[in-house]
A and B are shown apart, each in its own frame.
Chain A
Amino acid sequence: MARRSLILAGLLAAALVATATVVPMLVSARPAYEIPVHDGADGDSLDGAEGDAWNEAPSVGVPLSSADAAVPAANDTSVEEVRVASARTDERLYVRLSWADATRDTSTNDVREFADAVAVQVPANESERPPIAMGGTDNPVNVWYWNGLNSSQELLAGGPGTTTVMTSGELRTNATHSDDRWRVVFSRPLAGEDANRTAFSATEDVDAAVAVWNGSNMERSGQKATSEWYYLALGPGPKGPPYEAILWTVAGLAIVFTTLVTIEGVRRTRGE
């Protein structure tokens, strides 16, 4: 009897450990919201939106939805997913975005013409998470913006409608459109050159969000498809929000508890 109990306790403990550690790895190879940062690749190759080095960097499918901003037709957006990959060298951080867009909109020469565009948003202060919609007054964001006219800008924003061009930036972009897909790579020196520029280090993950505009759908300003906050996995070790592990542990405990209650119930029914 004591032996049976011991075996049961052992099994239950094993179930708990399995649920809390093995199952998360099985159901998700990568923590939610992580954008892995590939290390040690060749910078020259990363500079090109279709550079070979990007074959080695794992990409994440990031779902997009309308930003719900206070502009007309804010909910009429057309891009639903963007694939995001990231890489770093000793000097620079690279982010590559790729999304399906059959219409290559690269002109704003007509009153009704708008260009395709994409942006990456990171907190100016990398250790704080700003409001997702263009940051806040006390918690601004850096925005790397590229559009189909092949112009790119480094912007600072502290809330909707406040984007301001940052001068003397070293943002580089490269874009291609082939097979009905845009591929755009942004890169910037890891070091933040001044107080308002995000500094990237090897010790800390940095939040990042993305936005895509489809020009032929007259998307511009707050009429855009945006992601939630993700994070660039720059820091060491396995990641994942702490609550994920907690949730799985709770699930394991729940399994053990239900099993015990069931066993006890069966035993009582049998009158043991």
Chain B
Amino acid sequence: MSQSDDGQANDPAGDGTEVRLADGIDHQVAMVMDLNKCIGCQTCTIACKTNWTDGGGREYMYWNNVETKPGSGYPRDWEEMGGGWDEEGEERTPGELQDREDYGRPWDFNHEQVMYEGSDEPLRPMDQAGWGPNFDEDEGAGEYPNSYYFYLPRICNHCTHPSCVEACPRSALYKREEDGIVLVDQDRCRGYRYCVEGCPYRKVYYNAMKKTSEKCIFCYPRIEGEGPDGEVHAPSCAEDCPPQLRLVGYLDDEEGPIHKLVNEYEVAVRLHPEYRTEPNVYYIPPFAPPQHSESGESLNAERIPRDYLEELFGPDVNEALNTIDRERSRVERGEESEVMELLTTTDTEDQYRLEVFD
């Protein structure tokens, strides 16, 4: 049943860079997120929430979330709950359902008392404020003066080899033929939650009001131009991002920046490739200032430990970081670098290949 085994291998650029698409898929939507630009402002999170999850049993869901790494993430300790595939990518590995508390509950604040009843107490959550999304925000790891952290925005990876799709005994989840977006057929779903526990990224959510599971839809009505203005738009999380850290397009579009960054230059890497779901969200790994001595001098040592980055992004992160380092040096020497141009453009037309969606 492994889709990677019978997946199609494309070589759009004709230069030996192979793009693997899931079987029966015409194109594959993809994102590249540059972690060096993320400021943790959660504008993407709120853009997504106001569009899709602001009510109807979705209050606790963040189809897009931004978590601090190192950290427990959202839902809490999702990386330890299993799911995905075994090392060969053939057998699914079992996962566990998270406790509701791990997602965090909406907090009740003492608005009534403070605003209307003259209480002198500070405005604060009344109870149950023991955990929530971003409860460990900015904590990170390491010791002063060499503590470190970075932000990790996460959406559904719309994987090429999705274990959520395989987990559903009713085939309620599927990859859309035209662009590989993973969707839950709400008419087929009976709320068994095998997809919720089967996704190692915990990006499928159970709606207790509707009794079905729901997830990121890559804003497909926006890329289809189905909004009020009839125009094609990038997903909300990308378009509303203040530092514009996301690139949007097809993985197999050889003219697009995603194909170049992922397949040609290999500077964008997958989160937890060892889960073997073959995610289609890629990350430019984070750089940080070098370590400092007690007296504040820069040392020749990386602040974010390589082994931690390897833990997150697999061994390919090393070559990605080295390549970016090399390309930066070229720019410093006054030479041209396509990689750095792609990563530093401020033209959204270069970042979003919306024409491919038309």
Which A residues lie at the B interface, using CB under 8 A?
69-73, 108-112, 160-163, 218, 220-222
Contacts and interface: CB of A to CB of B under 8 A. Distances in A.
A183 to B, nearest CB: 24
B151 interface: no
Nearest to A149: B211
Interface string B344-355: 000000000000
B9 to A, nearest CB: 29
A108 B208 contact: yes
Contact of B97 (A111, A160, A163): A111
Contacts of A222: 169
Interface residues of B, number: 19
Given A71-B169, A72-B94, A221 B208 contact: no
A70 B170 CA distance: 11
Interface stretch (B39-47, B191-199, B287-295): B191-199
Which of A160, A161, A162 is the most central at the interface, judged by chain B CB atoms within 10 Å of its CB? Answer: A161
Contacts of A218: 97
B98 A111 contact: yes
B333 interface: no
B57 to A, nearest CB: 9
Contacts of B97: 111-112, 218
A11 B126 CA distance: 89
Nearest to B198: A72
A72 B96 CA distance: 10
Q: Which 4 A-B pairs have the closest CB atoms?
A: A221-B192, A161-B170, A110-B100, A109-B208
Interface in B98-112: 98-100, 103
A262 to B, nearest CB: 59
A68 to B, nearest CB: 13
B100 A160 contact: no
**What is the predominant secondary structure among interface residues of chain A facing chain B?**
loop
Contacts of B192: 71, 220-221
B194 A112 contact: no
Interface in B187-237: 190-194, 196-197, 206, 208, 211
Given A160-B169, A161-B169, A161-B170, A111 B94 contact: no
Contact of A221 (B94, B99, B194, B211): B194
Contact of B103 (A70, A73, A111): A111
B171 interface: yes
Given A72-B194, A111-B103, 5 more contacts: A108-B208, A110-B100, A161-B169, A162-B170, A221-B170
Contacts of A161: 169-171
A220 B100 CA distance: 18
A166 B246 CA distance: 45
B169 A111 contact: no
Contacts of B196: 111
A69 B169 contact: yes
Interface string B152-179: 0000000000000000011100000000
Contacts of A221: 169-170, 190, 192, 194
Contacts of B169: 69-71, 160-161, 221-222
18 contacts: A70-B169, A71-B192, A71-B194, A72-B94, A73-B94, A108-B208, A110-B99, A111-B98, A111-B99, A111-B103, A111-B193, A111-B196, A161-B171, A162-B170, A220-B191, A220-B193, A221-B169, A221-B194
A190 to B, nearest CB: 28
Contacts of A73: 94
B206 A111 contact: yes
A70 B97 CA distance: 18
A108 B191 contact: yes
A130 to B, nearest CB: 18
Nearest to A220: B192
Most buried by A among B100, B169, B190: B169
* Residue among B98, B103, B171, B208 having the largest count of chain A Cβ atoms under 10 Å: B208
Given A160-B169, A161-B169, A108 B211 contact: yes
B164 to A, nearest CB: 13
Interface string B85-128: 00000000010011110010000000000000000000000000
Contacts of B197: 72
Contacts of B194: 71-72, 221
B170 A111 contact: no
A161 B100 CA distance: 27
A160 to B, nearest CB: 7
Contacts of A160: 169
A221 B206 CA distance: 16
Contacts of A108: 191, 208, 211
Nearest to A72: B94
A3 B186 CA distance: 83
A69 B169 CA distance: 9
Contacts of B94: 72-73
Which of B97, B103, B171 has most A Cβ within 10 Å? Answer: B97
Interface string B29-41: 0000000000000
